[in-house]
């Protein structure tokens, strides 16, 4: 498929992992399609440099979640 015949999709994933199977050198772990983006043109996709920056900044992690220690709660269940 030629890029100008493509369309943009928005995906969500947990992590970017190394992979020598793809030109980017990486792949998404647990990817999920969130939505099609008809409001964007094919050339408005994420650039490889932006992907590399995102990957480096977050050490590959894309999902964030805070895990609480039970000791952080008082007897009423408040932090």
Q: What is the pLDDT of residue 74?
A: 52
Q: pLDDT truncated to tens, each residue of the chain (79 aa)?
A: 898 999 999 999 888 899 999 988 899 999 999 999 999 999 998 898 988 888 888 776 776 554 444 455 455 444 4
The span from the CA of 30 to the CA of 17, in Å, is 10
Q: What is the pLDDT of residue 77?
A: 44
Q: What is the pLDDT of residue 79?
A: 42
For the purposes of burial, counting CB atoms within 10 Å of the CB of 8, is it exposed (0-12), middle (13-18) or buried (19 or more)? Answer: middle
| pTM reported for the whole predicted model | 0.64
DSSP letters along the chain, please? --GGG---EEEE-SEEEE-TTSTTSEEEES-EEEEE-TTS-GGGSPPHHHHHHHHHHTTTB----PPPPGGGS-TTS--
């Amino acid at each position: 498929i030629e890029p100008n015949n493509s369309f943009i999709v928005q995906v969500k994933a947990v992590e970017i992992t190394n992979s020598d199977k793809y030109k980017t050198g990486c792949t998404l772990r647990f990817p999920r399609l969130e939505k099609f983006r008809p409001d964007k043109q094919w050339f408005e996709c994420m650039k490889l440099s932006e992907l590399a920056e995102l990957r480096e900044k977050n050490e590959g992690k894309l999902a964030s979640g805070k895990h609480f220690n039970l000791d952080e709660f008082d007897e009423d269940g408040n932090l």
